[in-house]
Amino acid sequence: MDKEKTKDMADRIFRDMAGAMAVGLAHLGTQTGLFRVMADQGPMTLDAVVRGSGLTARYVEEWLKGMVAARYLDYAPATGTFCLPAEHAYLLASETTDHYMGGLFGMVPPLLTVAPRVLQAFRDGGGVPFADFAPECREAIDLMNRGNYEHRLVDYWLAQLPEVVARLTAGGRVLDVGCGTGQVVQALARAFPASDVIGVDPDARSIAAATAAMAALTPPPRLIHATLDAVPTDLRCDLILLCDVLHDLPTPLPVLRDIRQRLAPGGVLFIIEPRVSDHLEENIHPMGAMFYGFSVFHCMTQSIAHQGAGLGACMGPARTKDLLAEAGFSRIDSVPIKSAVNLFYAAHP
């Protein structure tokens, strides 16, 4: 046995345990507002953080020390002060921007809450349907994606499809399939007021959140609580989106065929999927490990819960393009958009 290899593995296990605990502490930091309290303040004493946050001193003290150990905060032993560097605040205390990463932490508690049911599924089959995840799961997905949908979707991502943008600007129709809490629908409604904007999702809680969020928009976009097959097929669309949805679908092929029928001549299906390679050996990095974890504790499992395909978050570009070709799309392009986490496709009927 190679002793060095065993030692490396022990180190990795400690690093991963530390990572798991750091995520828990960082989640507390976003939920309590502690990161926001420390942003732009420079070095702070424990008393100053307690006063600024209004939280219980002993808990704040232990949290500060833990976040120092995990290198989220800097510590100055000479003065006993704690500092959230500007470079870290940019990622941790920047809610609603496209560089906020604090939303990721919120995924972990609701995903690990279903761990006993996932364990059961390993033994007995079946899965955990989307509706059974705690409300915090929808909130985390919303928070994780919101900044990108608000700031990048229209101005950067869809700008790669100028003909579609021109049609929607003049007044066309766009359908977001699996709209969740409606961030994409909101961004589209704001950008294309002359267009008919529709969101569809079978999850009642997501549609309720989307409806509440859109109350102030005039005219309010149409939100439909249903799976796509229940939506009337007479509405031809210039653009249909599947944002972080295709790999979740229990029946991806029938849905893709249905989408193709709903596209107007010249219309486009725009797809956002996790950035992974087709080859497992190229997914050996933190992003790959994160996406496989999301897949086992959520994406694959909620699809299998409906006796579905269970494609999983890491199905990769080759499988994605094969599915689109099998569904009858005549042209399938990878859209060259720079992103650390996503891959983008445009499929033409």
Ligand X SMILES: C[S@@+](CC[C@H](N)C(=O)[O-])C[C@H]1O[C@@H](n2cnc3c(N)ncnc32)[C@H](O)[C@@H]1O
Find, among 215, 206, 228, 225, the residue nearest to 327 by Cα. 228
Q: What gap in Å lies between CA 152 and CA 140, rounded to an integer? A: 19
Binding mask 105-144 for ligand X (x = CB under 6 A): -------------------------x----------x---
Q: Whose Cβ is closer to ligand X: residue 6's or residue 261's? A: 261
Choice from 37, 92, 137, 243 touching ligand X (CB under 6 A): 243
Find, among 90, 92, 114, the residue nearest to 103 by Cα. 92
Number of residues that bind ligand X (CB under 6 A): 21
DSSP 221: P
Q: By CB under 6 A, tell whether 145 contacts ligand X.
A: yes
Q: What gap in Å lies between CA 337 and CA 158, rounded to an integer? A: 10
Choice from 161, 200, 304, 343 touching ligand X (CB under 6 A): 200
Choice from 113, 160, 227, 283 touching ligand X (CB under 6 A): 227
Q: By CB under 6 A, tell whether 67 contacts ligand X.
A: no
- DSSP strands (E only) in the chain: 74-76, 81-83, 173-177, 196-201, 222-225, 237-243, 263-274, 331-334, 342-348
Choice from 150, 238, 244, 258 touching ligand X (CB under 6 A): 244
The structure tokens listed for 175 are 């359908």
Angle, CA of 329, 334 and 336, to the nearest 5° = 150
Choice from 150, 238, 248, 273 touching ligand X (CB under 6 A): 248
Choice from 64, 177, 263, 305 touching ligand X (CB under 6 A): 177
Q: Whose Cβ is closer to ligand X: residue 64's or residue 272's? A: 272
Strand partners of residue 243:
272
Span from 17-25, 96-104, 176-184, 313-321 in contact with ligand X (CB under 6 A): 176-184
Enumerate binding residues for ligand X (CB under 6 A).
Answer: 130, 141, 145, 177-180, 183, 200-203, 206, 227-228, 243-245, 248-249, 255
